[in-house]
């Protein structure tokens, strides 16, 4: 295996959720010094304190998770939308604000946002979650254009149907609802976490140096 991240300091947020475990594991396998953070980044000052504690950061994996409420758009509440933004969007903005200055100063750095394909294709009964995920991806496209002027690369994935502890735990995979959804998915199966993490690692590596402000669907045909 290539040691693409030997000597690199990598911060992974929400490291016990969503893509955190798979990305952290594979980063370590490829030589990275991984700071796997599991703190609550919605608290005032938490992001700034985290970045100060870690110090030098070569790669930021903005992996943010928020279990969502299934409800029609006419039933979805403002507090629920605020909660989605508090978990998914505001921590992302704070992370970028805190990490980007040091990367700009060094003229080097990678930021990869782990996003959702629900922001690219409509999904009934999930409006608030999709809106917050959509905000993430719009943010990436703009920040990517700004950051590349300083040789800092900002990109995102937009994934769905990936095995992970937050959205597709083993208990859910045993349900009839899950089995029915698999019949409707073109590829007919979940991605493994390691398969999806491979795309994240690619975007975090020097192999992706010509990619700027892009969002990459990873969803087994759910988005084409």
**What are 55-71's pLDDT values in tens digits?**
999 999 999 999 998 99
Q: Write the secondary structure of the chain as one string of H (helix), E (strand) and C (coil).
A: CCCCCCCCEEEECCCCCCCHHHHHHHHHHCCCEEEECCCCCCCCCHHHHHHHHHCCCCEEEEECCCCCCCECCCCCCHHHHHHHHHHHCHHHHHHHHHHHHHHHHHCCEEEEEEEEHHHCCCCCCEHHHHHHHHHHHHHHHHHHHHHHHHCEEEEEEEECCECCCCCCCHHHHCCHHHHHHHHHCCCCCCECHHHHHHHHHHHHCHHHCCCCCCEEEECCCCCC
Mean pLDDT over 140-151 rounds to 98
Q: What is the pLDDT of residue 148?
A: 98
93 band by pLDDT with thresholds 50, 70 and 90: very high
Q: Where are the domains of the chain?
A: 9-218
Q: Which fold has domain 9-218?
A: Rossmann fold (3.40.50)
User: What integer pLDDT is reported at residue 2 of this predicted model?
Assistant: 72
In this predicted model, what pLDDT tens digit does every residue of 12-54 receive, in sequence order?
A: 999 999 999 999 999 999 999 999 999 999 999 999 999 999 9
């Amino acid at each position: 295996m290539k040691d693409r991240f030997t000597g690199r300091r990598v911060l992974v947020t929400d490291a016990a959720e969503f893509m955190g475990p798979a990305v952290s594991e594979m980063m370590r396998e490829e030589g990275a010094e991984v700071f796997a953070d599991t703190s609550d980044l919605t608290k005032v000052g938490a992001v700034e304190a985290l970045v100060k504690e870690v110090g030098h950061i070569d790669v930021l994996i903005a992996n943010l998770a928020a279990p969502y409420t299934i409800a029609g758009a006419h039933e979805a509440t403002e507090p629920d939308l605020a909660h989605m933004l508090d978990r998914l969007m505001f921590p992302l903005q704070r992370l970028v604000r805190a990490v980007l200055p040091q990367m700009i100063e060094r003229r080097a750095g990678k930021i990869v946002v782990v996003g959702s394909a629900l922001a690219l294709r409509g999904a009934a009964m999930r409006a608030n979650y999709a809106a917050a995920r959509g905000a993430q991806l719009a943010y990436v496209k703009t920040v990517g254009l700004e950051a590349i002027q300083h040789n800092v690369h900002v990109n995102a994935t937009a994934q769905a149907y990936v095995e992970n502890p937050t959205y597709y735990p083993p208990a859910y995979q045993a349900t009839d609802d899950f089995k029915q959804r698999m019949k409707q998915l073109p590829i007919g199966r979940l991605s493994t976490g390691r398969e999806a993490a491979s795309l994240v690692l690619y975007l975090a590596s020097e192999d992706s140096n010509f990619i700027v402000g892009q969002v990459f669907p990873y969803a087994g045909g759910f988005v084409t």
